[in-house]
Amino acid sequence: MQAMKDTQIKKLIEAEKKRQKSVINLIASENVVSKDVLEALGTELTNKYAEGYPGKRYYGGNEVVDKLESLTQDRARKLFGLNASRWHVNVQALSGSPANLAVYLALVPLGGKIMGMSLDNGGHLTHGYKVSMTGKAWKQIPFGVDPKTETIDYVDLKAKAIAEKPDIIVGGFTAYPRIVDFKKLRAIADACGAILMVDMSHFAGLVAGKAYPSPFEYADVVTTTVHKTLRGPRSALIFSRLDKTITNQKGVAHSFSELIDKAVFPGLQGGPHLNQVAAVAVALKEAASPAFKKYAVQIIKNAAALADELKKLGWRIISGGTDSHLILMDTWSPPVGGGAGLGGKEASDRLEKAGIIVNKNTIPGETRSPVDPSGIRLGTAAETTRGKKEKDFRKIAQKIDKVLRKR
Ligand code: DSN
């Protein structure tokens, strides 16, 4: 391939490549994609406009991209063991936030209620939090964790759901380390007449690798980004049950799938980013391999080792550990054995100087602010891609301890 002529941008790309290689990346929502994924992103598919869906476009010249989009849908269903007669998948959402917004736009009347995990308990902004559009156009009914166990309080969740009658319940998280009980969420949704959506963005790769429970047996809609544990490009998928319908005021029933497709395009977006769709297809095929299954299992083993070592070193880990790729560490509580605690911002800054990249994060019962909260979030997906094993993560824990304990 000819070298890039824009040397200014080329230099920045090279600098970022070097930065990524030189650090230990513990950002729980990042990963390192394959060369094939990168290659698909940098192709002529970016030149093509294809507003609409396969077989129903508003532009000509779609014989290739129709095949591409249908193949991507087939691969997405196959990866999660879904039957095409029961599940539809939209592969056009540009990323996780627009995907979640599209679901609400399709299925929840404006002003209706979204029941989602609160931000400081590990929920995502798009689960109805006030600063997101999802908290402005709809009302959030927050649920959270039991303050003692720091795991989801399903009894409280059920009581709130029955009292508030939300239109939709969102299971899923951005900073919650444990398994979510989808069966319980289904029963609660049924008890209050809500739709059950699961946002599996963080753990989709773990579900694909059968290392974390699948939500598909219980959910009506499942959204996911592709770029976290699933190790693909920045993008999102929206799975919906074909047999679920909403009847409009004229008495006409529309399937969730039909309504979601319309919400994505023309509701929120224009033409799909087809180079991105191709890269999603590549990542989905990679995630179906036996090597990926081993990878998913290793991610969790590594997270368990990291949490265990940090605990042994005297740090408080939210909920006492992890069942996934992510750990929430309380940096504000002083560690056992000496040293004072420190705010999440200082912890994250110090670690960055030492070559470890994390993000500051609120913790359940947060008493500080989101810009300088009480903890940090750690994830093991990216460094597991780079081949690290439990012993490496124990060493990383020791390095974290050294950097944070130092006065
Ligand atoms: N910002 C992502 C994360 O880090 O979890 C979610 O959007």
CB 128 within 8 A of CB 114: yes
Residue 406, pLDDT above cutoff 90 = no
Q: Please give the number of the atom of ligand 1 that sits closest to the Cα of 175.
A: 5
Contact 226, 237 (CB under 8 A): yes
Please give the pLDDT value at position 370. Answer: 87
Give 256-303 pLDDT, tens digit per residue: 999 999 999 999 999 999 999 999 999 999 999 999 999 999 999 999
Note whether 337 and 278 are same-domain residues.
no
Looking at the structure, tell me whether residues 113 and 249 fall in a common domain: yes
Q: Which residues line ligand 1 (CB under 6 A)?
A: 29, 96, 124, 174
pLDDT digit string, tens, across residues 176-196? 999 999 999 999 999 999 999
Q: Are residues 142 and 185 in the same domain?
A: yes
Q: What are phi and psi of 222, to 5 degrees?
A: -130, 125
Has residue 1 been placed in a domain? no
Instruction: Say whether both 154 and 255 belong to one domain.
Output: yes
Q: Quick one: which atom of ligand 1 is closest to the CA of 125?
A: 7
Q: At residue 2, does pLDDT exceed 80?
A: no
Q: Which atom of ligand 1 is nearest to the CA of 174?
A: 5
Question: Mean of the pLDDT values across residues 343-370?
Answer: 96
Would 357 be classed as within a structural domain?
yes
Crossing angle of helices 182-192/154-164, nearest 10°?
Answer: 20
* Ligand 1 center from residue 174 Cα (angstroms): 6
pLDDT of residue 33: 98
Q: What number is the average pLDDT over the span 328-333? A: 97
- Among protein residues, the one with the nearest Cα to ligand 1's atom 3 is 29
Quote the pLDDT of residue 293. 98
Same domain? For 90 and 67 the reply is yes
Task: Tell how far the Cα of 127 is from the centroid of ligand 1, in angstroms.
Answer: 12
pLDDT at 268: 98
Tell me, yes or no, whether 20 lies in a domain: no
Asked if residue 224 and residue 169 are part of one domain, the reply reads yes
Residue 1: predicted pLDDT: 63
Take atom 2 of ligand 1 and give the residue whose Cα is closest: 29
Average pLDDT of the chain is 97
- From residue 40, give the alpha-carbon distance in Å to each of 17, 35, 37, 339: 18, 9, 5, 49
Please report, rounded to a whole number, the percentage of residues in the chain having pLDDT higher than 90. Answer: 96
Choose one of 25, 26, 27, 29 to mutate for the ligand 1 pocket test, by most ligand atoms within 8 angstroms of C-beta.
29
The CA-based diameter of the chain, rounded to the nearest angstrom, is 68
The number of angstroms, rounded, from the C-alpha of 257 to the middle of its chain's C-alpha atoms is: 21
Q: Are residues 57 and 176 in the same domain?
A: yes
Tally of CB atoms within 10 A around 172 = 30
Q: How close is the Cα of 65 to the center of ligand 1, in Å?
A: 29
203 and 312 inside one domain? no
Tens-digit pLDDT profile for residues 381-394: 999 999 999 999 99
**Atom 6 in ligand 1: which residue has the minimum CA distance?**
174
Residue of 25, 134, 201 to mutate, ligand 1, most atoms within 8 A of C-beta: 201
| Residue 21 predicted with pLDDT over 70 | yes
Q: Domain of 211: which CATH number?
A: 3.40.640.10
Catalytic annotation, residues? 49, 51, 199, 225, 228, 234
> For residue 292, what pLDDT is reported?
98
Number of domains, the chain: 2
Mutate-to-test residue for ligand 1 from 27, 117, 228, highest number of ligand atoms within 8 A of CB: 228
Residue 32 lies in a domain: no
**pLDDT score at 335:** 93
Q: Which one of 259, 287, 315 terminates a domain?
A: 287
Closest CA to 210 of 271, 295, 326: 295
Of 287, 321, 346, which residue is a domain's last?
287
Question: Which range of residues forms the domain containing residue 357?
Answer: 290-405
Are both 277 and 297 inside the same structural domain?
A: no
Please indicate, yes or no, if residue 15 is contained in any of the structural domains.
no
Q: Which atom of ligand 1 is nearest to the CA of 126?
A: 7
Cα dihedral 144, 145, 146, 148, rounded to 10, equals: -140
Same domain? 53 vs 90: yes
In a domain, 30, yes or no: no
Taking the CA of residue 96 as reference, the ligand 1 atom at the shortest distance is 7
Residue with the larger pLDDT of the pair 44 and 3: 44
Q: Output the pLDDT for position 407.
A: 67
CATH number at residue 368: 3.90.1150.10
Residue 325 is assigned to a structural domain of this protein? yes
Instruction: Specify whether 263 is located in the same domain as 305.
Output: no
Query: Which domain-ending residue is among 287, 317, 342?
Result: 287
Tell me the CA–centroid distance for residue 45 and ligand 1, in Å. 27
In a domain, 361, yes or no: yes
pLDDT at 338: 80
Tokens representing 12? Answer: 């920045």
Q: At residue 131, does pLDDT exceed 80?
A: yes
On whether both 123 and 252 belong to a single domain, the answer is yes
Average pLDDT over residues 309-326: 98
